[in-house]
Amino acid sequence: MPGPTHPNIERGRWGEDVAAAWYARRGYDVLARNWRCPAGEIDLVVRRGRLVVVCEVKARRTDTYGPAAAAVGPVKQQRLRRLAAAWLATAGLRGVEVRFDVVAITADQLDVVTDAF
């Protein structure tokens, strides 16, 4: 029997569920969740037509340590660009437009930053 999960991990999964549902309601198909490779992890990849969105999800209980979206700085952005290239190569997708979004959830407030970087 697995041990208890960490509250931050549970919140992260919940945030990813909320983000995936938000995109699905807008006509996107979820292609990948928590895709991993040696370089890191992509939280969510969705697609609508030729548009593929690589999404970083940040979910926090409070904004005590700043807004959730602020946690996606230049280093994380660069990593996500490299991960997106690896995911696209693995998925065999060509001729698509790629956008990077950040979904920030603080308490129960959802903020989707499209084309974040």
**109 — pLDDT class (breaks 50, 70, 90):** confident
pLDDT in tens, 14-29: 899 999 999 999 999 9
**1 — pLDDT class (breaks 50, 70, 90):** very low
pLDDT at 16: 94
pLDDT at 47: 98
- 29-37 and 40-48: which strand pairing? antiparallel
Domains detected in the chain = 7-113 (3.40.1350.10)
Q: What is the arithmetic mean of pLDDT over 81-104?
A: 95
Look up the pTM and report it: 0.86
48: which 2 tokens? Answer: 């609508």
108: which 2 tokens? Answer: 């129960």
The dihedral built from the CA positions of residue 49, 19, 22 and 33, taken in this order, carries a sign that is: positive
pLDDT in tens, 36-83: 999 999 999 999 999 999 999 988 777 766 666 677 889 999 999 999
Quick check: 99 pLDDT over 90? yes
Q: What is the 3-state secondary structure (H, E, C) of 4-18?
A: CCCHHHHHHHHHHHH
